[in-house]
Amino acid sequence: MRIGLLNGGGDCPGLNAVTHGVVGAATRLGWEVVGFKDGFEGLLSPGNYKLLKVEKTEGILKLGGTILGTSNKGHFSSKVGAGGVRYIPSELMEDAKGTMRDLGVEALICVGGDGTLTTALQFWKEDFPVVGVPKTIDNDLAATAMTFGFDSATQTVVDALDRLHTTAESHKRIMVLEVMGRHAGWIALYGGIGGGACSILIPEIPFTIDKVAEAIQKREEMGFHSSLVVVAEGASPKGGSLIIEDANEGGEVRLGGIGEIVSDKLSELTGKETRCTTLGHLQRGGSPTSLDRVLGTRFGVKAVNLIEEKRFGRMVSYQQYHVGSVTIEEAVRQLNLVDPEGEVVAAAKSVGVCFGD
């Protein structure tokens, strides 16, 4: 038995842990794993791949990035903007399936976010056996309580805030940190709480900048002369729109720039010195945390188990500390967004965090 493995979308800490899990579990079953390079692009004939033996994956568990390469654009991009879907032309699908047939690959594991899983679903609908593994630092996939990569990204935000804190205190400044997350505020929310931010602005709660400025003034009156403000790249003011940095070839927008806008406005309203840092791809790089290494390994093993049980068209899913599975269809149907009325936001508000609402 030969199975295929590919990574799609942005790189993410823990991708190599999944590869380690897949190769380990498959090898124990006597199977071979064909690792396709650069996402679905590696499926184009004659195929761009490498055979993944345990000797080749030894020691990769702790590495960031992916030994297979990945891509969030190209021939197989199926997501356009928030919610738009592009159907992959049948000649491309046939070409990809032909490559796998020629290599003797009987089932394919697709590791990725919403876009990758949407393409994987098309393969399954066209009768090619696939299994999905949820990946994204944004944690925005419904049907799984957590994706690997999110914990590592959040830890990077917390580390950054700890560092910004010292300058904020020494100079009595407001330090604004813009973080990733696309249309979901999970990274900002968890990173902001963990790093002691006084204000967290997320896409799910449109903000009023005067409220944030008021919260900072109140802190001044209480004798706290420095403030950390975390802004998700997808956050926007009430009645305002998303700040779009760019649109890639597939039409998926790249967000960014709201941090500087918030920073300038807060400086104007409070009269305090304010600086903005955009954390950017530092959140996607580096070694995965222990949680992401373990989650990635478990996800990889589960994907192989699903193939062994011939339960195709399913995505590995993490629910209540247990790794199970759901249909891919269920997983790509909706985004997992922060509940503005939920317990996490309420807990943050209870300890004085201002969301600008």
Q: In angstroms, rounded to a whole number, what is the distance separating the alpha carbons of residues 232 and 230?
A: 7
Q: Residue 255 or residue 331: which is nearer to ligand F6P going by CB?
A: 255
Enumerate binding residues for ligand F6P (CB under 6 A). Answer: 10, 72, 136-138, 180-182, 233, 254-255, 284
Q: Residue 47 or residue 250: which is nearer to ligand F6P going by CB?
A: 250
Peptide bond into 134 cis (omega under 30): no
Residue 300 is classified by DSSP as H
CB half-sphere exposure, 197, CA atoms < 13 A: 31
In the complex, what is the shortest distance from the CB of residue 226 to ligand F6P, in angstroms, rounded to a whole number? Answer: 27
In the complex, what is the shortest distance from the CB of residue 39 to ligand F6P, in angstroms, rounded to a whole number? Answer: 13
Residue of 33, 56, 18, 24 whose CA lies nearest to 132: 18
Contacts of 295 (CB under 8 A, 6+ apart): 14, 17, 146, 148, 151, 318
In the complex, what is the shortest distance from the CB of residue 150 to ligand F6P, in angstroms, rounded to a whole number? Answer: 10
In the complex, what is the shortest distance from the CB of residue 153 to ligand F6P, in angstroms, rounded to a whole number? Answer: 8
Is 117 strand, coil or helix?
A: helix
Q: Residue 274 or residue 292: which is nearer to ligand F6P going by CB?
A: 292
Q: Residue 141 or residue 301: which is nearer to ligand F6P going by CB?
A: 141
In the complex, what is the shortest distance from the CB of residue 100 to ligand F6P, in angstroms, rounded to a whole number? Answer: 26
The catalytically annotated residue of 11, 114, 138, 292 is: 138
Residue with tokens 């002691």: 196
Residue of 53, 300, 342 whose CA lies nearest to 190: 342
> Do residues 106 and 129 touch, judged by C-beta distance below 8 A?
yes
Q: Residue 245 or residue 339: which is nearer to ligand F6P going by CB?
A: 245
DSSP secondary structure string for all residues of 55-95? HHHTT-TT-SS-TT---SSSTT--EETTTEE-PPPHHHHHH
Nearest residue to ligand F6P by CB is 180
11 is known as an active-site residue: no
Q: Residue 37 or residue 284: which is nearer to ligand F6P going by CB?
A: 284
In the complex, what is the shortest distance from the CB of residue 255 to ligand F6P, in angstroms, rounded to a whole number? Answer: 5
Residue of 115, 153, 132 whose CA lies nearest to 9: 115
The catalytic residues are: 138
